[in-house]
Amino acid sequence: MKVYRAKKGELIEVTGEEVGVFANGDAYLVDAGMNIYIWLGEKCSVDEKFLSARSASILDAERAGKAKITTFHQGEESQEFLDNFGGKIELIAEDTPTLFKPVEVEEYAAKMYHVRREPGTTMDKTEVKLLDTPSKSALHSDDVYIVDGWEEIYVWQGKSANVAEKVTASRVARSISGRRGRGRVVVITEGDEPSKFFELLD
């Protein structure tokens, strides 16, 4: 498990005796593998909330969207969350910069998912696969693709795509947006793409 503190526009890793100590003026990201927690102090700033949420979404994307992201406001922590710190946390009302080391936050890289169903199979057999690299050459008229560009989540529908693929892609895109708490889902059709869509592809 790793704990990070969002403070003045930076994500700082918390180490040593400071693990389990939470300042009410900051936001925190707790990376517990497939469980990712966001803790918001009562006096944390908007940019700290955004940084912690954005970083949690990046971690989730690295885990193929299978991680569970849970957000807690100060005083509303679940027992499951507290158990990561021996059953309780310590609250402080001021900054304590000791034992913190800077962690670089990478720019969010667009993600591309291929949504396809084998002919003759049912809707629940529709496959959603994360591609290695978002690429224009990967687009095929028979299928549907999701291109997650953070601010916009595009659902690209090929001219010959079937209904099952369209429905599944829209559901997955809305799920990504819902977990993150941001990201506008935009459905586009082959041949009617905005320029911003292609800017996300190699």
Examine the domain organization and report whether 6 and 99 are in the same domain.
yes
Q: Residue 107 has what pLDDT?
A: 64
Positive/negative CA dihedral, 180, 183, 186, 191: negative
In whole angstroms, what is the distance from residue 134 CA to residue 120 CA?
28
Tell me how many domains the chain contains.
Answer: 2
| Among candidate residues 9, 1, 11, 29, the one with its CA nearest the CA of residue 103 | 11
Examine the domain organization and report whether 74 and 155 are in the same domain.
no
Examine the domain organization and report whether 31 and 98 are in the same domain.
yes
| Torsion, Cα of 168, 169, 171, 177 (10° steps) | 160
CATH for 58: 3.40.20.10
Examine the domain organization and report whether 86 and 9 are in the same domain.
yes
Looking at 103, 130, 147, the residue that finishes a domain is 103
Examine the domain organization and report whether 6 and 96 are in the same domain.
yes
Q: Residue 8 has what pLDDT?
A: 67
Examine the domain organization and report whether 99 and 121 are in the same domain.
no
Examine the domain organization and report whether 61 and 10 are in the same domain.
yes
In whole angstroms, what is the distance from residue 117 CA to residue 124 CA?
9
Does residue 56 contact residue 36 with C-beta atoms inside 8 Å?
yes
For residue 7, the number of C-alpha atoms closer than 13 Å in the C-beta half-sphere is 19
CA distance to 13, 59, 72, 157, per residue, from 22 (Å): 13, 21, 12, 45
Examine the domain organization and report whether 96 and 132 are in the same domain.
no
Examine the domain organization and report whether 80 and 152 are in the same domain.
no
Bridge partners, 14 (sequence order): 3, 100
Q: Residue 96 has what pLDDT?
A: 40
Q: Which residue has the tokens 């402080």?
A: 92
In whole angstroms, what is the distance from residue 58 CA to residue 94 CA?
28
In whole angstroms, what is the distance from residue 50 CA to residue 55 CA?
8
Examine the domain organization and report whether 96 and 118 are in the same domain.
no
Q: Residue 103 has what pLDDT?
A: 53
Examine the domain organization and report whether 127 and 54 are in the same domain.
no
Examine the domain organization and report whether 128 and 80 are in the same domain.
no
Q: Residue 100 has what pLDDT?
A: 43
Looking at 103, 119, 146, the residue that finishes a domain is 103
In whole angstroms, what is the distance from residue 162 CA to residue 131 CA?
20
Q: Residue 37 has what pLDDT?
A: 95
Instruction: Give pLDDT tens digits for 41-54.
Output: 888 888 888 889 88
Structural domain including 162 reads 111-199
Give the predicted TM-score (pTM) of the model.
0.51
In whole angstroms, what is the distance from residue 200 CA to residue 135 CA?
8
The parts of the chain modelled with pLDDT lower than 70 are 8, 94-107, 119-124, 180
In whole angstroms, what is the distance from residue 187 CA to residue 92 CA?
46
Looking at 56, 82, 103, the residue that finishes a domain is 103
